[in-house]
Amino acid sequence: MRGIDQMSACIVSSSMQADMVYLESILNDTRDSSEIVGEFTDIKTIVQGHLVSLKLFGLQYLAKDVANCGDITRCKEIGTGKHSEVYAARYLEKDVALKVIKLYPATMFSRFAELELFRSLHHENILSLLGVCYTDMLPVVVGNGMREQLSSFRLLILFDKCDTNLEEYLFNNPNFQCGNISQTSRTEASDFFCRTGQAICSAMFYIHWKGYVHNKIQLKNVLLQNGKVKLCGPTCTPDTNIDNVTKFLAPEVLAHQNIGKHTDIFNLGTLLWELWYGRRAAVDMNKERSATSRPHPDCNTKLAMPENLARVVQSCWAQNPEERPDASLLLKEI
């Protein structure tokens, strides 16, 4: 037994040393990063597959936040997307939101990576994860005691149930749109802007402090729960759809490169503009889609933002990502 331990220690040590030498050679490689990544795509896929297997084992046998599918009741569908559906549901006598995510081999790793993100975030203005379930059964519908057998496994995630999203609430309540109310009459709207903006910036600062990128900062991904702001959790997949004419896109998104925390700040500036004026930023900008000459929404129109706030919001749209502020500065200005 001692001989096996000694042999293992020798092999592992030699293997690790060889890996370090190999890693050093990669770090010193002068080729374009995309070319280097392409060379290791097959290895990356294999490693991610192993990690998914480990995460599945942990979810099924070790995790403490696993929900029993039999304890969940679907009430009604409240949203649907290409790869998921969202339901108003009940879980252990509590009103919750249930997200049912379809799993594909190509997206399994990112889905479980996002789950780990959700689990690691604990902030009063970020939507709380209540439980998770990996199953090939769909929970019962209220009034029907039968669960639905699925053709493949799904990832079920339970979140706090909220009342509405910020886009829907703001666009349908002119009294909360500072940019449409005279300064002498906007006390309620100003309070709403400050309270909501501070909560979003605080959540964003926390996410960046944890070392994560949110990737989908927009009004519809901010929820309201009894008046309290709840930012939806981050995603591992940036939105790179450059054909979406309803969105004001960062230059790096148009160029398909260097998307990161600075892109979140660009989008946060757009969100704050829309929060002030109560309309989409894309409506107020030139529809020119050039990556080299980006117009931006006007912060100085009638019933404009205060000068200091306008200056900081506009700095979020700097062509050079390094010149954009961080969330803490936005939080301070608001």
Structural domains of the chain, ranges and CATH numbers in brackets: 69-160 (3.30.200.20), 164-333 (1.10.510.10)
Length reported for the chain: 334
| Helix 261-277 with 187-209: angle, nearest 10 deg | 170
* pLDDT beyond 90 at 294: no
How far, in Å, are 96, 142, 268 from residue 225 at the CA level?
A: 11, 23, 21
Choice between 251 and 73, residue whose per-residue pLDDT is larger: 73
Q: Report pLDDT digits (tens) over 5-43.
A: 665 566 556 767 777 887 788 888 888 877 877 887 888
pLDDT of residue 285: 61
Choice between 195 and 46, residue whose per-residue pLDDT is larger: 195
pLDDT of residue 167: 96
* pLDDT beyond 90 at 334: no
pLDDT of residue 318: 93
Choice between 68 and 144, residue whose per-residue pLDDT is larger: 68
65 within 8 A of 129, measured Cβ to Cβ: yes
* pLDDT beyond 80 at 3: no
CA 9, 51, 210, 270 torsion-angle sign = positive
What residues are paired with 85 via a beta bridge?
Answer: 80, 100
d(CA 75, CA 95): 10
User: For tokens 């220690």, what's the residue?
Assistant: 9
What residues are paired with 84 via a beta bridge?
Answer: 101
Q: What is the pTM of this model?
A: 0.84
Edge-to-edge order in the sheet of strand 164-165: 164-165, 222-225, 228-231
**φ, ψ for residue 132, nearest 5 deg:** -145, 150
Lowest-confidence segment of 7-16, 51-60, 63-72, 94-103 by average pLDDT: 7-16
Lowest-confidence segment of 9-13, 140-144, 230-234 by average pLDDT: 9-13
How large a percentage of the chain has pLDDT more than 70? 90
Q: Which residues contact 149 (CB under 8 A, 6 or more apart)?
A: 136, 137, 138
What average pLDDT is seen over the chain? Answer: 87
